[in-house]
Amino acid sequence: MSEEPIRITYFIISFIFHCIIAYYIIKTARKTKLNQLYLLATHVFLEGFLQIIMAIQGPYGEVGWFYFIEILVLVVFMKWGFYKEQRSISAYVVIVISIVNYIIYIPLIVLQISLAIRRFIIDIIMITLGSWFLYVSLSAYLKIRSVKGIEPWIKARYVLVMIYGFLWALSGVFLMIPGPTTELSPLILLTMLLYIIIPVTEYLAWVMPERFKNWLNRNYTYEEETGELSEEEIMKSFGGD
């Protein structure tokens, strides 16, 4: 069997899967009115759309610039979601790296300069962003890890985002290893496998299906109340009359 239909089928399924994730994220955004989630949905949709582009043009086609839009959307989402009220040097560093790479990348496409250089730039971005993701989610996770009022599924979500970041960086490392990009080499297959695991991680993290959530929470008990208190009793506890 020719490898082309396998590749195209894979990319189309991946696109549909990304659309499903984006749909659920939009549903959450509408419910919670968290506007930054629209950015995440845009990122996931673009990630899926890139699968179609890759199916047609290969992983480093002429529309590689499209990739940068997806990345910038994601960086802004992370900055907004994790550091809106805080200064974050790392966020600005990642934004600057992304923009600088984008500025370098565009002329490379226009002038049809070496595919290897273009590939290198994309890989650098993937490794930088993936590592940053890992760092951001790990730092946030460490702050809430021991808070008893936070349910395990929420903590697991941080871990899933960490895994997502790690896999992204890892796929960048894989793609940096020299080898053919047009045929199904073991390295390409490994990278494709990562591209299957990455959206699954995204699905589990952002959609968080009910059964998965319940499974994560299976041993969770929150011993909050030892009995109901009246308003008067509560106020008295704080020194009131």
Partner 1 sequence: MDVVKFFGPLLAEKTGLKLTPCSGMVRLALRDAGKTNDLFKMNDIKLLINKYLKERLERAGFDKNEEIIKALNLELIKNQSLLLMTARSQK
Q: Is 32 in the site for partner 1 (CB under 8 A)?
A: yes
Q: Which of residues 39-58 bind partner 1 (CB under 8 A)?
A: none
Q: Is 24 in the site for partner 1 (CB under 8 A)?
A: yes
What is the sign of the dihedral through the CA atoms of 195, 132, 95 and 41? positive
State the nearest-atom distance from the C-beta of 163 to partner 1, in Å: 14
Q: In three state form, how does the secondary structure of 73-87 look?
A: HHHHHHHHHHHCCCC
User: Could you give the string, one character per residue 151-180, with x where binding to partner 1 holds by CB under 8 A and - elsewhere?
Assistant: x--x--xx----------------------
The residue range among 5-13, 120-128, 167-175, 206-214 that interacts with partner 1, by the rule CB under 8 A, is 206-214
Torsion of CA 100, 105, 111, 112, to 10 degrees: 160
The residue range among 13-21, 66-74, 144-152, 175-183 that interacts with partner 1, by the rule CB under 8 A, is 144-152
What is the DSSP code string of 144-181? HTT-TTS-HHHHHHHHHHHHHHHHHHHHHHHHHS-S-S
Structure tokens of 52? 């179609």
Binds partner 1 by CB under 8 A, chosen from 5, 149, 180, 186? 149
Count residues binding partner 1 (CB under 8 A).
49
Q: Is 84 in the site for partner 1 (CB under 8 A)?
A: yes
Phi, psi of 181 (to 5 degrees): -110, -5
- Find out whether 63 and 69 touch, Cβ atoms under 8 Å: no
User: Distance between CA 137 and CA 163 in Å, rounded?
Assistant: 9
The residue range among 5-13, 181-189, 194-202, 218-226 that interacts with partner 1, by the rule CB under 8 A, is 218-226
Point out which residues bind partner 1 (CB under 8 A). Answer: 24-25, 27-29, 31-34, 36-37, 81-86, 140, 143-144, 147-151, 154, 157-158, 207-208, 210, 213, 222-227, 229, 231, 233-241
